[in-house]
Homo-oligomer: A and B are copies of this chain.
Amino acid sequence: MPKRFGVGPPWWHGRFRECGYRLTTPRESILDVLSKTSKHLSAEDIYLEVHNIYPTIGLTTIYRTLGLLVQMGFVSKFDFGDGRARYELSMGPKSVGHHHHLVCTSCGRVIDYTDFIEEEKELLSKTEKELSKRYNFKISNHLIQFYGLCERCKNKK
């Protein structure tokens, strides 16, 4: 039986050591905030949140740690076109798992969707396989976003 979430050390403890990095208080605080939300937080959002539980944190450390987490594959970095990057835990309990985004070009609202159409996943892996072969490319990730007007903005016109 797999270990339940919420008991024992968080799942990421081991991975840090494996990669040769130290799991420090600032880093844990950042992971803590990320794991307790399913929102799309900016670096400053995270800074403000972490600041509550670890007041001496610096914005620099936020950026550095996020870079590390992205590199380790724990965190995904997104650009929704508003000039600041957004970060989401890409694995873990509160995470919705892999998902794509609907971005409203008018108000900037972002909707996650995980309920893929049946064939969507299947086609995606097929496409990745095909592209890998054709372009001799080792594909490790993909980004899919749809742009348009959300319910509110659509009716506003």
Residues in chain A within 8 A of chain B (CB atoms): 77, 79, 81, 102, 104-105, 111, 113, 115, 117, 119-120, 123, 126-128, 130-132, 134-151, 154
Measured in the bound complex, the distance between the Cα atoms of B130 and A136 in whole Å is 33
Oligomer copy total: 2
- CB of B136 within 8 A of CB of A147, answer no
User: Shortest beta-carbon distance, A81 to chain B, in Å?
Assistant: 8
A113 with B135, Cβ < 8 A, contacts A123-B119, A123-B123 known = yes
- CB of B120 within 8 A of CB of A137, answer no
Measured in the bound complex, the distance between the Cα atoms of B102 and A131 in whole Å is 9
Measured in the bound complex, the distance between the Cα atoms of B138 and A142 in whole Å is 23
Measured in the bound complex, the distance between the Cα atoms of B143 and A79 in whole Å is 11
Please give, as numbers and ranges, the residues of chain B lying within 8 Å of A126 by CB-CB distance: 117, 119
Measured in the bound complex, the distance between the Cα atoms of B29 and A39 in whole Å is 42
Please give, as numbers and ranges, the residues of chain B lying within 8 Å of A131 by CB-CB distance: 102, 113, 146
Of A128, A146, A149, the most chain B CB neighbours within 10 A belong to A146
Please give, as numbers and ranges, the residues of chain B lying within 8 Å of A145 by CB-CB distance: 142-143
A139 with B148, Cβ < 8 A, contacts A127-B120, A131-B102 known = yes
- CB of A141 within 8 A of CB of B148, answer yes
- CB of A111 within 8 A of CB of B123, answer no
Starting from the known contacts A128-B146, A136-B151, 18 additional A-B residue pairs (CB-CB under 8 Å) come to A77-B81, A79-B79, A102-B135, A102-B139, A104-B137, A117-B127, A117-B130, A119-B126, A120-B123, A136-B150, A137-B151, A138-B154, A139-B146, A139-B147, A140-B147, A140-B148, A141-B146, A142-B144
